[in-house]
Homo-oligomer: A and B are copies of this chain.
Amino acid sequence: MPEETTDELMHATYRALCKHGYASLTMRDIADESSKCKATLHYHFDGKRDLLVSFLEFLNERFTRKIAAIDADDPTTRLFALLDVACPDDEADDSDMFQTAMLELTAQAPYETGYRDRLREFETYLTGEFESVLRTGIDAGVFDDGVDPERTAEFLLTTINGTQTRRAAVGHDAAEMRQMIYDYVETTVVSDESPRRTEVHAE
């Protein structure tokens, strides 16, 4: 399949999920959001689940590109930039519906190996990025040397997962929860001696 077709179908899938949620989503709904017909979708994908596995790959790739685009040398700025990308404070109209659809899809991961593997890839990638910036910051003396990079990276991922679940399920304020993750990082990760601390705090 040509790259622009894949790209078009993935954007169509995003719009269809925003409109219909996960459970009731059909191949027709996705086709309706694209210039392709339902038969073309069935030619390229074995069904809705197969298409959604490709959609998760598409989201992982897009996420990786956003991380790669972060232009920050110093560890504190880079750590907060990672948090911004991983825990976006998105005010787009369709965003709540999309978060709801993603929670439904996540809840199907125990039954769908394809979903679970893609979600695990995402988690492994993101914890790796957190770990790496934490090690760099500790070595540079701007992060507290009592911080365990591996455990802290896992803890950050857990708090991000919790933020997404509570936002979608009970409508808890995402911006407020993100601020608490920032506070946690400032209190327990960023060294008291770091010159960046006050700067970041003031942003």
Whole-angstrom distance from the CB of A166 to the nearest CB of chain B?
5
Whole-angstrom distance from the CB of A116 to the nearest CB of chain B?
6
Whole-angstrom distance from the CB of A86 to the nearest CB of chain B?
12
Size range of the chain A interface in the assembly: 35 or more
Among A65-113, those with CB < 8 Å from B are 96, 100, 103-104, 106-111
**Alpha-carbon distance A176/B151, docked complex (angstroms):** 9
A183 at the interface (CB under 8 A from B): yes
Among A119-157, those with CB < 8 Å from B are 119-120, 123, 151, 154-155, 157
Known interface pairs A107-B103, A151-B183; A162-B168 also in contact (CB < 8 Å): no
Whole-angstrom distance from the CB of A127 to the nearest CB of chain B?
10
Option from B21, B103, B171, B180 in Cβ contact (under 8 Å) with A158: B180
Option from B96, B108, B160, B171 in Cβ contact (under 8 Å) with A162: B160
Known interface pairs A107-B103, A120-B170; A177-B165 also in contact (CB < 8 Å): no
Residues of B within 8 A of A120 (CB): 170
Q: Smallest CB-CB separation from A180: which chain B residue? A: B155
Contact yes or no, B107 A106, CB < 8 A: yes
Residues of B within 8 A of A151 (CB): 180, 183
Residue interface bits A40-66, CB-to-B below 8 A is 1, else 0: 000000000000000000000000000
**Alpha-carbon distance A120/B166, docked complex (angstroms):** 10
**Alpha-carbon distance A36/B176, docked complex (angstroms):** 47
Contact yes or no, A158 B157, CB < 8 A: no
Option from B155, B164, B183 in Cβ contact (under 8 Å) with A159: B155
Nearest first, the 10 A-B pairs at minimum CB distance are A162-B162, A161-B162, A158-B162, A107-B107, A109-B169, A100-B110, A104-B107, A155-B180, A103-B107, A165-B165
A→B interface (CB under 8 Å)? 21, 96, 100, 103-104, 106-111, 116, 119-120, 123, 151, 154-155, 157-166, 168-172, 176-177, 180, 183-184, 187-188
